[in-house]
Structure 1
């Protein structure tokens, strides 16, 4: 099999595996908790997007990794991670929190879609080995990120169409209350 075929197959299987996991474990849990806690959990996952800066580190990725892909992916991931962290910091200031939830999901989803565009345009699947140590990011991490962005938007649209008093007034638990 060619490197391009292997990369594409692994990317598709990454989505399949995460969708199976998401359906069995993550989605039932997210639906069972207050809406704000579900969005906080998604923001926590995305707060690790600073890791995408690895695409800009020679030696971790190959010297021939297309710059049109690497730079955009690195800095858009950083922006998404920073917005997710800001959302988490402002969880008690609900209007700011919700604005940042929308922002990090919009920026993050746009980042992933544009990363796919840049990767295809630059021929990245044929040179997937240039991802070096970062190869696992698009195969394992990106599918989960995209699935959680879609989920976040779904939860936001569902709550806008059908808000309940329990969701809008549910108190946030602090770390001390959880233990």
Structure 2
């Protein structure tokens, strides 16, 4: 089996254990939490995304990993991590907390989607060995991050609906 095929299998199967864990352990716990505490837990996980800066450290990744991929992945993760930390720091200032919750989830989701797209465009599967010590990030860490972004949006929408908050267009339509 080629290294590219192994990498593709790793990418796909990276989601399976996290989804199983989510269903068995995480969702029951988050459903029992207050909506703010649930988002705070997700923000705590994403506050570690500063770790993505490792993609731009020479010697950690191989010299043939395209700098454009490594830089975007590194700084996208860094921005997401900082926004998640800001959410955690502003938890007592609710409007700011919710702004940062939405911001880190939007930035983080876009970062991952663009990284997947860019990785596909540059043939990252064929360059998987150039990921070096960071190989585990897209295989183990990124699926968890993407799943928790989706979960955060789901919880936000559920909270908005249950709180009776509606979008301005929907409110105008109802009147």
TM norm structure 1? 0.90
CA RMSD of aligned residues (A): 0.8
| Separation of aligned partners in 1, 2:118 and 2:5 | 18
Structure 1 consecutive aligned stretches of length 4 or more whose deviation exceeds 2 Å? none
Is 1:156 the counterpart of 2:156? The answer is yes
TM norm structure 2? 0.92
Shift of 1:162: 1.1
Which secondary structure does the structure 1 equivalent of 2:64 belong to?
coil
Aligned to 2:98: 98
| Separation of aligned partners in 2, 1:24 and 1:120 | 32
| Separation of aligned partners in 2, 1:74 and 1:53 | 4
Aligned to 1:168: none
Aligned to 1:121: 121
| Separation of aligned partners in 2, 1:125 and 1:75 | 21
Give the count of matched residue pairs.
Answer: 164
| Separation of aligned partners in 2, 1:141 and 1:27 | 18
Gaps of 5+ in 1: 165-179
Matches within 5 A, 1:29-44: 29-44=29-44
Aligned to 1:61: 61
**Greater shift after overlay, 5-14 or 96-105?**
5-14
Shift of 1:68: 1.9
